[in-house]
Structure formats: C-alpha cells, structure tokens
Amino acid sequence: MWCRQARGSVPRRLAAGGGRALAGPSQGAVSGELLRHLEHLALVDFRDREGVERLRGAIRFADRLREVNTDGVEPMDSVLEDRCLYLREDDVTEGNCTKELLNNAREKVEEYFVAPPGILCCPECDLQLVSHNSLFSVR
C-alpha cells in the first residue's frame, strides 16, 4: 500500500529493503493466544517453529511501514478511489449453469454442494487444517 504522497517521501534505504525495523509494539513477540487466534481465523496450522519464525518475519517486514510519516495524510483505501463506480441495469443476464458449477464440486448430493457439518472454526476440532508449508511457496 502506497500513501498518496509517496513519491519522494519514502526514504531510499527503505526502498532498497535494507533498513532496520523500528521497534513496534509487537517487537517480534507473538503470544500463544495470538497464534491460536490467527490459526482460528485463517484455518491454517502454523504453530511449529518454522511457522512462527515466518510470522515474526512477516510482522517485521510490515512494521517498516511505520517509518513513513503519515501525519495529515488522508488514508487511501483503494487505487480506484477517483474512478466512477459503474452501475449495472437490473436485468437477469447470468445463472442457469448448475451443471458447470457442480462440476467443480468434489462431492454433491442431487444439486447441492456438500460441506462438512457445523461452523469451521476451532483448531481443537478434528477438522483438518491446511499446513502452512503448502501455502507459502517462496520465503
């Protein structure tokens, strides 16, 4: 994410990627509770040493944003902010492709998708969480 007045105000050393991270509130400390919470939200199991180290690295990397002074700068939340939001006419132009959609489903019952029961939320459940190793390809 770039600030609107980014040009010229990002210190060169940051752009080069060699700067030291400012001491932010996290300081690399990641509590067990935070880990559990993140796993719960992302449905990813990464509580081994490598996973935690990666997480710390990601936080350090993102913390470098704090070095930029954003006082008095209106946050920009979309690069589309000065574009026109296109409004569509209220006509039925899509749908009726049940077969195609269900082709993607590993399991189906009549014309319904099949999902596991309940709310997928607790790492403590015996639901299989995705291992982080299969998600992050390049360090």
Among 33, 71, 110, 126, binds another protein (CB under 8 A): 110
Q: Which of the ranges 11-19, 21-29, 40-48, 53-61 carries the binding residues for another protein, by CB under 8 A?
A: 40-48
* Per CB under 8 A, 118 contacts another protein: yes
84 strand-pairing partners = none
Number of C-beta neighbours around residue 27 at 10 A:
13
Amino acid of residue 97:
C
**107-118 core/surface letters (b: 16 or more CB in 10 A; e: else):** eeeeeeeeeeee
Distance CA 118, CA 63 (A): 37
In the complex, minimum distance from the CB of residue 77 to another protein, in angstroms, rounded to a whole number: 4
Count of residues near another protein by CB under 8 A? 42
* Per CB under 8 A, 16 contacts another protein: no
In the complex, minimum distance from the CB of residue 107 to another protein, in angstroms, rounded to a whole number: 8
In the complex, minimum distance from the CB of residue 91 to another protein, in angstroms, rounded to a whole number: 6
Query: Using CA of residue 100, residue 103, residue 105, residue 107, what is the dihedral sign?
Result: positive
* Span 63-102, contacts to another protein by CB under 8 A: 77-78, 80-98, 101-102
